[in-house]
Structure 1
Amino acid sequence: MVDKSPRPDPNVQQHSVVESDYVHHTELPTTRPSLAVDKAVRGIGFAFSFLWLGVLGVILVAVIGRYAFGSGSVMAEEIEWHLAGAAWLVGLSYTLVSDDHVRVDVLHERLSVKKQAWIELFGLLFLLLPFAAIGLYLGWPYFYSSWMQGEVSQAPAGLPYRWAIKVFLPLSFALLIVAVLSRLMKCTALLFGWPKPAGPDPIVRATNVGALERDDQTG
């Protein structure tokens, strides 16, 4: 029996069926204010990402000290979660401007870009922005009270200056609000033409192109 199914055109770039698993970024247009905000937030997030190396180093020291020399360290354990907490909290805004947060909506990726932008607009305005504002509103007095009282660790041989980790609560929510405003400008640029679009988002475009290139190499 002769196979009469159409053959792929060798001149057309082919992608595997799992391409959509990698390309999940909504390619919204960027704006001049968004470019500046995204660059600043990504720079801060990248700098704080090195704290994870510190977390690994402290864990190694604590494990070696406990099992090789039989001496644990409360201070090392607290340094570990201080560094991890700061890196994770600051990473929230970095993830948003990079559009690398986890999406669980199976319908979202099947919609047009304009419909995706409407979903982003309502989600940012009525869900994420109020959440971040409440976090900033409650996080600031939480930090300020700790700072004014000179709060220290309740554990023996723990760290002083407990406010040093609590300051990252209001800081992270403030950065998240800035990131939300940047994302909102991209949505309004697509839907309403304001602020004036400044071309495709270079961060998302580079990520999507890189994902397709990796997909081609593995597919």
Structure 2
Amino acid sequence: MIKKIVHFLEALGEWAGKISSWLILILIFTLVYEVISRHLFNKPTFWSYDISYMLGGSAAFLGMAWVLKNRQHVRVDIFYEKLSERNKAIFDIVLSLCLFFPLVIFGFSNSLDAAINAFLREETAATGSWRPLIYPLRMVIPISLALLFLQGVADIIRNIYQLLGRRI
């Protein structure tokens, strides 16, 4: 049962990573279109700036769970790489409980409040000429942090199993 839960949580992180990669592809096409339109036809778009930071920011946030799942975050390996697998698991659990989860919960709480307020006020972007609604972008942040939290839970479970001498 626990294995199924861990695999489900990690599948959510994979799903978010795939969405993130598609957003990057759309971002690239959008920017190429803007450059061609601006430089070859002397007709810049009025929407490309807003779309680019919305797509880029969404891709960066949605990719966090995938990055954690695949252990691709930047890490100072001066001491960590010299630890045994058991001590790495202990180290990861302690740091997750002391730093990771409190920061993710704090970020989720604040970003959810900001997203709800943006939705209720029908907040628009302060930059750009077309002033699109900003709450969809603001909503990506708490969703991404929730996915990151769930991936952290999956990692804690894996580390506990590691301490018990078992693998998931």
TM-score (norm 2): 0.91
Q: CA deviation at 1:35?
A: 1.6
| Residue matched to 1:43 | 15
Identify the match of residue 152 of structure 1 among 104, 124, 127: 124
Q: Which amino acid aligns with 2:126?
A: Q
1:75 aligns with 2:75: no
RMSD value over aligned CA atoms? Answer: 1.8
Q: Does the aligned pair in 2 maintain the 1:74–1:155 contact within 8 Å?
A: no
Unaligned runs of 5+ in 1: 1-29, 201-219
CA–CA separation in structure 2 for the residues paired with 1:38 and 1:163: 27
Equivalent residues in 2 for 1:1-219, closer than 5 Å: 31-155=3-127, 157-192=129-164, 197=166, 199=167
CA–CA separation in structure 1 for the residues paired with 2:12 and 2:143: 14
Give per-residue Cα distances to partners, 1:76-105, cap 9 Å, x unaligned.
111011111111101001111122222222
Unaligned runs of 5+ in 2: none
Distance change (3 Å), C-alpha of 1:156 and 1:47:
closer
Q: Which amino acid aligns with 1:123?
A: L
Q: Which amino acid aligns with 2:68?
A: L
Give per-residue Cα distances to partners, 1:150-186, cap 9 Å, x unaligned.
1112345324221011101111111111011110001
Could you say what secondary structure the match of 2:47 adopts?
helix
CA–CA separation in structure 2 for the residues paired with 1:99 and 1:71: 43
Q: Does the aligned pair in 1 maintain the 2:49–2:128 contact within 8 Å?
A: no
CA–CA separation in structure 1 for the residues paired with 2:90 and 2:135: 39
CA–CA separation in structure 2 for the residues paired with 1:123 and 1:99: 15
Q: Which amino acid aligns with 1:88?
A: A
Identity %: 22
CA–CA separation in structure 1 for the residues paired with 2:76 and 2:146: 25
Q: Does the aligned pair in 2 maintain the 1:31–1:186 contact within 8 Å?
A: no
Q: Does the aligned pair in 1 maintain the 2:16–2:65 contact within 8 Å?
A: no
| Residue matched to 1:7 | none
Give per-residue Cα distances to partners, 1:15-74, cap 9 Å, x unaligned.
xxxxxxxxxxxxxxx933212211222123213311111111111111112222223223
Q: Which amino acid aligns with 1:74?
A: F
| Residue matched to 1:20 | none
Give the number of the structure whose residues are more often helix, by fraction.
2
